[in-house]
Amino acid sequence: MSYQVIARKYRPQRFADVVGQEHVTQTLSNAIEQNRIAHAYLFCGPRGTGKTTIARIFAKCLRCKNAPTTNPCNECPDCLAITAGNSIEMLEFDAASNTQVEKIRDMIIDHVKYMPASGKYKLYLVDEVHMLSTSSFNALLKTLEEPPAHVIFLFATTDPEKLPPTILSRCQRFDLRRIPAALITKHLAGIAKIEKVKIDQAALYAIARGADGGMRDAESTLDQLISFCGDKIEEADVLSMFGLAAESQILNLSKAVLNGEIQVALTELNQLAQGGKDLGRLLSDLLNHFRNLLIYQISKGDLNLLEVSESEVSSLKEQSALAASDALMRILDTFAEAELNVRDAASKRIFLEVALLKAIEARNAIPIDSVLKQLNQLRGHGGGPAQAASSVPPSASAAAAQPAPRTVAPAPPKKHAEQLHESATPAPVLAPAPAPVSADLNALWANLVESVGRVSPFIRTYLLEAHPVSFERNLLVIGFDPEFADHLGLVDNSRNHTVLQTKLSELGHPNCQIKFVEHEAPEGTPRLAKVAPIEQPIAEQSAAAAQPPAPASPARDASPKQKAPVQFNKNDFKNDPLIQKALEIFKGQIVEVRA
């Protein structure tokens, strides 16, 4: 007898021989025992997982001399004919080479009306059925929906999404799974024992990893290794054939990433690249290892969710203590993104080196929410600019707040000034200085910004970057430094004019006009934005909003007792000295600023 390859020699002949597809074989066995035989079955799944094999076993169960049975004899003429693939009552054909509607009509549609020569059922097995043309499916549709009682259709496909819904709805669908590595290893060990081949457990596990859930691929690889190595197979032989990295090499590389050892990681990758390993497959193995590590950590050591060897379990236990779950998730995101783009990379080695560096950075990264939380804690314990400003003596703050001479602007009319002082609480007396803007105008500006902020935090955000230029003849000129000139187009509109005019009227200056200009503030001009806290508790903001408006000077805004609601500016946040110091310490960058 001529030589027969292992994949055919050890092909399952009974449902009990099928590995890893119990959910399918048990359902079909129950259907036979209960006499609930459907007229069409669809077997889906990856290559080499047993679609055609299960269809043939099912056919033998219905065609055996003991039929219907769940355990065919494999000795009667019908069983032997189906096993050999030449049964006249079990017709098999490949849809990939018979896509035309004429062939479908000739082989199936015109012959289903004839009764089988023997037995109860005539079966049609169509492999790779998704390759049929649309016309073929349409021609088959009526026959598939209402076939004669003696006809059963068996379809097999690796891509069920390509089948029309009208076909899918007329079949009982069975999805075959990828076979776990542990079951493939056990099955190959039994075959090696029968073939009298000595193979170690590490080599068997390497074959199972390379087969990627396909039993036929694993059996073909074992057959090839026996031809190459003889009766003794070692792990190195399997790794050389597949281009895989050894399990120990993957563990060493992942450990280097978790420990942040850049030089060790690049050295390991260099050795793998020089050894001719498949770098794309190496990236997939790393991704799978970190997935196992994350699942092991989250499940607290539950191995039922993992497909790992015994030697890998101890490594998972050791490495799970090197990083937290959020760090592992960031590493997984990095490798998952790299796996999507590695096929398009001109140099996979350079691409993988960059991916390793990004993974190490992701391991050491700190989430922006944690950084903001730490910054808020620092501000609450004297680390923020508001606390620092409050520690300066009032006289020094008032002196530093005086603007340098730049332009001359007259004081407000006497009547307006009297109304302003009648409605305002006494403000700290500022040290006299040759200021171009009067102290009354500064006080009016502080009150105006505070009043506007209560009704529109959006306008207040921009006013914090502005300064009063002049106030005469009922015209308030508001200036923006050249660096904030882009704010003019955002704030200079009729709505904002109305809000400002209303608040000026409430402060004792009715019928005023507003004008926004680009104007460079004199050196030393007090800026409300520099002394305003970045954020306050919601309870304090609500309490402050309930209080009546009160005028305040720039020096008073620096007091920690001020309760005015505040909407921080993103640019101020990014330029804050404390934020800049944090970015320098953590070696990070601001990706998003949320209010």
- 370 occurs within a structural domain: no
Q: Which of 570, 579, 566, 559 lies closest to 537, judged by CA?
A: 566
Q: Can you give the pLDDT at residue 438?
A: 61
How far is Cα 594 from Cα 172, in angstroms, rounded to an integer? 52
DSSP assigned state of 68? S
Q: Do 88 and 207 fall into the same domain?
A: no
Q: Which of 386, 401, 376 lies closest to 531, judged by CA?
A: 386
CB 365 within 8 A of CB 328: no
Band of residue 244 on the pLDDT scale cut at 50, 70, 90: confident
Q: Can you give the pLDDT at residue 347?
A: 87
Which of 187-201, 380-394, 573-587 comes out lowest in average pLDDT? 380-394
- 377 occurs within a structural domain: no
The mean per-residue pLDDT over the stretch 489-506 comes to 85
317 has a pLDDT exceeding 80: yes
Q: Can you give the pLDDT at residue 594?
A: 64
Q: Do 129 and 254 fall into the same domain?
A: no
- 372 occurs within a structural domain: no
Band of residue 174 on the pLDDT scale cut at 50, 70, 90: very high
Q: Which of 82, 58, 61 lies closest to 71, judged by CA?
A: 61
Q: Do 280 and 305 fall into the same domain?
A: yes
From residue 136, how far is each of 38, 95, 144, 151, 448 by CA, in Å? 22, 10, 12, 18, 79
12 has a pLDDT exceeding 80: yes
Type of residue found at 336? A
Band of residue 215 on the pLDDT scale cut at 50, 70, 90: very high
Q: Can you give the pLDDT at residue 553?
A: 42
The mean per-residue pLDDT over the stretch 392-399 comes to 38
How far is Cα 421 from Cα 447, in angstroms, rounded to an integer? 12
Type of residue found at 185? T
> Number of folded domains in the chain?
4
Show the domain range for 20: 6-175
Band of residue 409 on the pLDDT scale cut at 50, 70, 90: very low
Q: State the average pLDDT for the chain.
A: 78
Band of residue 422 on the pLDDT scale cut at 50, 70, 90: very low
Query: What b-and-e string marks burial along 438-477, b requiring 16 or more CB atoms within 10 Å of the CB?
Result: bbbbbbbbbbbbbbbbeebeebbbbbbbbbbbbbeeeebb
Q: Can you give the pLDDT at residue 15?
A: 93
Report residue 315 as tokens.
């490594």
Please say which residue of 118, 153, 175 terminates a domain. 175
How far is Cα 12 from Cα 179, in angstroms, rounded to an integer? 15
Q: Can you give the pLDDT at residue 344?
A: 83
Q: Do 393 and 354 fall into the same domain?
A: no
CB 282 within 8 A of CB 352: yes
How far is Cα 347 from Cα 87, in angstroms, rounded to an integer? 52
Which of 2-16, 28-42, 410-424, 445-459 comes out lowest in average pLDDT? 410-424
Q: Can you give the pLDDT at residue 228?
A: 85
The better pLDDT of the pair 562, 99 is held by: 99
Q: Can you give the pLDDT at residue 44?
A: 94
Band of residue 67 on the pLDDT scale cut at 50, 70, 90: confident
Q: Can you give the pLDDT at residue 443?
A: 85
With a pLDDT cut of 70, the percent of the chain lying above it is 78
Quickly count: other Cβ atoms within 10 Å of residue 209's Cβ.
23
Q: Can you give the pLDDT at residue 198?
A: 92
For residue 88, what is the domain's CATH number? 3.40.50.300
Report residue 39 as tokens.
């007229």
Percent of residues in the chain assigned helix, strand, coil, to nearest 5:
55, 10, 35
403 has a pLDDT exceeding 80: no
Band of residue 410 on the pLDDT scale cut at 50, 70, 90: very low
Tens of pLDDT, residues 273-288: 888 888 888 888 899 8
Question: What is the rounded (10 degree) CA torsion for 213, 214, 220, 224?
Answer: -20
- 453 occurs within a structural domain: yes
Q: Do 428 and 546 fall into the same domain?
A: yes
Which of 42-46, 332-336, 446-450, 541-545 comes out lowest in average pLDDT? 541-545
- Cβ burial of 436 (10 Å; 0-12, 13-18, 19+) is middle
Type of residue found at 585? I
CB 219 within 8 A of CB 10: yes
Please say which residue of 158, 175, 192 terminates a domain. 175
The mean per-residue pLDDT over the stretch 103-125 comes to 83
Report residue 354 as tokens.
């960059």
- List, in order, residues 6 or more apart from 11 with CB less than 8 Å away: 53
Strands 90-94, 40-44: pairing kind:
unpaired
Q: Do 305 and 290 fall into the same domain?
A: yes
The structure's pTM equals 0.58
Q: Do 207 and 353 fall into the same domain?
A: no
What's the half-sphere exposure (Cβ side, CA atoms, 13 Å) at 401? 30
391 has a pLDDT exceeding 60: no
Q: Do 276 and 423 fall into the same domain?
A: no
